[in-house]
Structure 1
Amino acid sequence: MADQNLEPTSAKDSRASQTIKAIMGLRGYIIDGRLRPGERVLEQMLVDTLGVSRTPARTAMQRVCEEGLMEPLPGGGFAVVKFSVNDVFDAIAVRGNLEGMAVRMAAERGAPPEVLKALKKVVKQLDVAVENLKHSWDHLAEYVRLNDQFHDLMQDTCNSPMVKRSLERLVVLPFATPNAFASASPLNLDGLLQVVIYAQEQHRSIVEAIELREGTRAEALAIEHSRSTWKYLHQIFLQGDSSLDLAGLRMIVRP
């Protein structure tokens, strides 16, 4: 006899879809600054604005809390986390160290041939994208896409689920992503171009170090590479409060 308590597949799919919608919506509200640092997040607000039921809304709040974008309040409920400028630079440093660990392990263990081949291909594509950027910033989206692809492949070189999960958890914070500087591009295009050119040289050197099995060099290059983001964001913070209106940086509270 069929189990009468089994939930129809369509109902499960609908519930899962609502949960994903709630998670993505809540995360977007925080990153875009619609929910400000320190603001209490109400379940009913997500129900009303996202068009989801209470269970997906509740699940989304718990998930986003686990990701580090919200924190539980002593009396119950959740509030948006307040990030400091130091938190931004600490997150970038942690990402750099994790990526450094990944490529060092890859160099010492030997990266999967198909991943190394893919990295080389992306480096060549990035060469073209960087050349295009020298003539027009209309190509920035292409550079960002390829840069994301390069960093995803860096995680895959070491074939370590533990390192990959740690990095995936960290880059939920938009200011910790490899492309955090790109959102600030309108403020200083010349400075951004220099960051991009320097970063591309590092991309090439990281791949070379992995292939030559130079673990210490690969790790040092990856850590220094993360400072490309650090250095550019440091310039952005020095330019004044207007820079904090950029997506992702709205999450930062300055003293």
Structure 2
Amino acid sequence: MTPKSLPERNVTQSVKAVLGIRELVFSGEVMPGERLSEITISERLGLSRTPVRAALARLEQEGILEMIPSGGYAVRSFSEADIGDAIELRGVLEGTAARLAAERGVVPSRLASLNGLMDELDRIVGKPAAEIDFPAYIARNQEFHEALKSLCGSDMIRREIDRVTSLPFSDPSAFLEVQAEIPQCQVSLIIAQSQHRAILNAIEMRQGGRAEALAREHARLARQNLDYVIENKKLIRKVPGLFLVTG
């Protein structure tokens, strides 16, 4: 093994460990309060203990796990207020990203590409509710938010948005999977899409304050969907990680 390939292997194993443990937590295979054993996880994921140990520490920093007095880590539980705060924080960070993008400017070719994306989203949400292609909407919505966090050119802001959205219920697409079961779902999608266009327009017009306010308001749509899902318990299992809410 060459010196160059060794770090690449270590990075790959570390990423596998993080993704594997996240899946165990968010799929419900390990429950809130349950202790995570390095040995058991290593065996289950087919990885050595070193990347597993590093992944556990990273997920504790992200807030998914918590250290326990006897040593090691346990799966965290969350309150509804925790989730609301995470969504609000995403809105603050995306708002900052939108404002800086407007103030710093975005190259015309990038704006043209995003306006093309807006046209695709318009076509999706413009269909009758029963004909809306939700997988396509989720993919295009994710594409918009991925672009938004990078438009201002700040790696620091992008990393912080990635950190807060590492909790699946604070991700921009968190509640889209259950939209079809929410009354007036098409209305919600149309509102969200109008906000997408308004955010992009504000960035294009170099209106930083307006772009920031719109992005923050846009995130609050997720909070409305959260409230509906919490009230309708049968939907909780359809939102990854939401069963971690204990009150």
- Secondary structure of 2:106's match? coil
Any residues of structure 2 matched to 1:189-204 within 5 Å, and which? 190-204=183-197
Instruction: Report if aligned partners of 1:103, 1:210 keep a CA contact under 8 Å in 2.
Output: yes
Give the match for residue 228 of structure 1: 221
Give the match for residue 31 of structure 2: 36
**Displacement after TM superposition at 1:242 (Å):** 2.5
Instruction: Report if aligned partners of 2:236, 2:242 keep a CA contact under 8 Å in 1.
Output: yes
**Displacement after TM superposition at 1:121 (Å):** 1.5
User: How far does the alpha carbon of each residue in 1:18-67 deviate from its partner, in whole angstroms, 9 at most, with x for none?
Assistant: 32222111011111221111111111121221111211221221122222
Q: What is the letter of the counterpart of residue 73 of structure 1?
A: I
Who wins on radius of gyration, i.e. which is larger? 1
In 1, distance between residues paired with 2:223 and 2:234? Answer: 18
- Secondary structure of 2:66's match? strand
Matched, 1:172 2:161: no
In 2, distance between residues paired with 1:144 and 1:132? Answer: 15
Give the match for residue 210 of structure 2: 217
Instruction: Report if aligned partners of 1:107, 1:218 keep a CA contact under 8 Å in 2.
Output: yes
**Displacement after TM superposition at 1:191 (Å):** 3.1
- Within the candidate set 225, 236, 242, 1:244 is matched to 236
In 2, distance between residues paired with 1:88 and 1:133? Answer: 31
Give the match for residue 158 of structure 1: 152
Any residues of structure 2 matched to 1:1-255 within 5 Å, and which? 12-132=7-127, 134-137=129-132, 139-188=133-182, 190-239=183-232, 241-246=233-238, 247-254=240-247
Instruction: Report if aligned partners of 2:129, 2:185 keep a CA contact under 8 Å in 1.
Output: no
Unaligned runs of 5+ in 2: none
Instruction: Report if aligned partners of 1:202, 1:221 keep a CA contact under 8 Å in 2.
Output: yes
CA-based RMSD? 1.9
In 2, distance between residues paired with 1:142 and 1:134? Answer: 14
In 1, distance between residues paired with 2:128 and 2:32? Answer: 35
TM-aligned CA distance change 1:200 to 1:74, over 3 Å: same
Q: How many pairs align? A: 246
- Secondary structure of 1:156's match? coil
**Displacement after TM superposition at 1:107 (Å):** 1.4
Instruction: Report if aligned partners of 1:171, 1:177 keep a CA contact under 8 Å in 2.
Output: yes
TM-aligned CA distance change 1:8 to 1:103, over 3 Å: closer
- Secondary structure of 2:184's match? helix
Instruction: Report if aligned partners of 2:78, 2:245 keep a CA contact under 8 Å in 1.
Output: yes
- Secondary structure of 2:195's match? helix
Deviating more after overlay: 10-19 vs 199-208? 10-19
Unaligned runs of 5+ in 1: 1-5
Give the match for residue 3 of structure 1: none
**Displacement after TM superposition at 1:133 (Å):** 6.3
In 2, distance between residues paired with 1:159 and 1:166? Answer: 13
**Displacement after TM superposition at 1:114 (Å):** 3.3
Instruction: Report if aligned partners of 1:103, 1:215 keep a CA contact under 8 Å in 2.
Output: yes
- Secondary structure of 1:157's match? coil
- Secondary structure of 1:159's match? coil
In 1, distance between residues paired with 2:2 and 2:160? Answer: 34
